[in-house]
Amino acid sequence: MSLAFSYFVKILTYEATKFGTRIIFIDRFYPSSQICHKCGYKNEAVKDLRVREWRCPHCGAEHDRDRNAAKNILRVGVATHLQESQ
């Protein structure tokens, strides 16, 4: 993690605390772009960062790598929040 990014995270965490909210972190090695957000299938073939779009071989869903990753990250973040608030 670069120094600039860690400083950004530090400021973001401080501001979140100031406004009564918090930042939820997920594992940095979570394969968010490899997991189909529709069915949960993990596609090892898309480890290559040059693969920008892919079709899930299990359910047939079409994925843009970045949008798929964002949906998976949101799902994990919400699940973590719900689990911690119980």
Digit-coded pLDDT (tens) for 25-75: 999 999 999 999 999 999 999 999 999 999 999 999 999 999 999 999 999
Q: What pLDDT was estimated at residue 3?
A: 80
Q: Does residue 2 carry a pLDDT above 70?
A: no
Q: From residue 14, how far is each of 21, 27, 55, 77 by CA, in Å?
A: 10, 20, 40, 19
Angle at 60 (CA atoms; ends 57, 65), nearest 5 degrees: 80
Distance between CA atoms of 44 and 36, rounded to whole angstroms? Answer: 11
pTM above 0.85, yes or no: no
Find the helix or strand (DSSP H, E) in which 3 lies. Answer: helix 3-18
Confidence of residue 85 (pLDDT cuts 50, 70, 90): confident
